[in-house]
Amino acid sequence: MMIDTLKVLINASEKAARIARSCCEGATDEVLLVAEKGEGEANARFDKDFKTIADVLAQESAKNEIATFSPELARNTRGEECSEIGGVSIKLQENWEKTAEMLSLLVAPNVATRMSAAAHSSIELSLDLPEDLPSIDINDLGVWIDPIDATAEFISGVRGQAKTGRGLPCVTVLIGAYIKSTGEPVMGVINQPFYNNGKGRIIWGVSYGTTKEWGTTESKSDSESNIVLMSSAENPEIVNKMKKANLEVKSVPGAGHKLLKVALGEAGIYIVSKGTTFRWDTCAPHSILQALGGDIVSYSTYTPITYNDPEDVDTQQFCNSDGVIAYSDIKVFENIKKILT
């Protein structure tokens, strides 16, 4: 059952990725519906936080992929985005024509048709996955989805307005599963839809008991353990500590993008001291990093992040309020702790 669940999470990530890519197949001046998030839904880090119709449709389509496999798992699936945008509640209809008709209430018919076709497409990925994964109680699983992480970069990229080193390559789809009874992450998928001019790449991981498995559609880099990833808004005192220790501090957009780089060995560690990431940002990468021998822990306490938050709380309660430190090599983490203290 675990291998089947992993395949579904991978397929769900690719469905979301296809929807994101469908927004780039037309002219850059096509209207991509963008809405400002309301109070309680927005990330407090930003003066204004936005979502697009692609975010919402990608999340609903990923949920639908999961629901086809297991209605119970779908009921325990949560995501970053509210399903309403522009006064319309987004839900996959019985066929692509009906979904396109619904989307046409919000965007031009040609855009709606492309997005609907992506949402209703069938996924046939050929990945080398281990068939000997242990069984797992699907009734004790929950899922977190971030359908399009780095939305601001997605918007600027679709519009052809992104700066060098930013834009679409920084976009990721994050889908992770956790044990509801303990909050521990167990499976994760990071999909980078626009990698290699839209070819995309996927990295997945399983961390369950003694089972530690991971894989990627692209080769993993040699570890750049000297590189520390941080937000451009990070505390200058922390940045200076890293630089004084002869570490190279880099700032790249997107929490998922930073975590992907750590998982692939393109950076040694990701540090954020503030509560600017959420469960949907870290759940998927967490399992992957654990499978690699790393972890995601609280910046303040060095204890692992857990994911079984109550469902009936404000969205801001899903914040990793004590910050995070993410790493794939325990030696790198131990060195960072010495520097910080």
- Residues annotated as catalytic (active site), given as ranges: 55, 80, 146, 148-149, 151, 281
Which distant-in-sequence residues (6+ apart) come within 8 Å of 108 by Cβ? 30, 31
Contact 151, 71 (CB under 8 A): no
A 10 A CB-CB count for 4 gives 12
Which ranges of the chain does DSSP label H, i.e. alpha helix?
A: 2-22, 53-69, 71-75, 96-103, 109-119, 151-158, 195-198, 236-244, 255-263, 279-291, 330-340
Name every residue whose Cβ is closer than 8 Å to that of residue 130 and which is 6 or more positions away in sequence. Answer: 3, 206, 213
Q: How many C-beta atoms surround the C-beta of residue 72 within 10 A?
A: 13
CB atoms within 10 A of CB 292: 22
Q: Are strands 172-179 and 84-85 parallel, antiparallel or unpaired?
A: unpaired
User: Could you give phi then psi for residue 46, rounded to 5 degrees?
Assistant: -100, 145
- Angle, helix 53-69 to helix 109-119, in steps of 10 degrees: 30
Q: Cα–chain-centroid distance for residue 335?
A: 27
Token code pair at residue 261: 């780089």
CA-to-CA distance for 59 and 151, rounded, in angstroms?
13
Instruction: Tell the residue number behind the tokens 């992957």, with chain if given.
Output: 288
Residue with tokens 């992450």: 185
Residue closest to 130 by CA, chosen among 215, 237, 246: 215
Structure tokens at 302: 């060095």
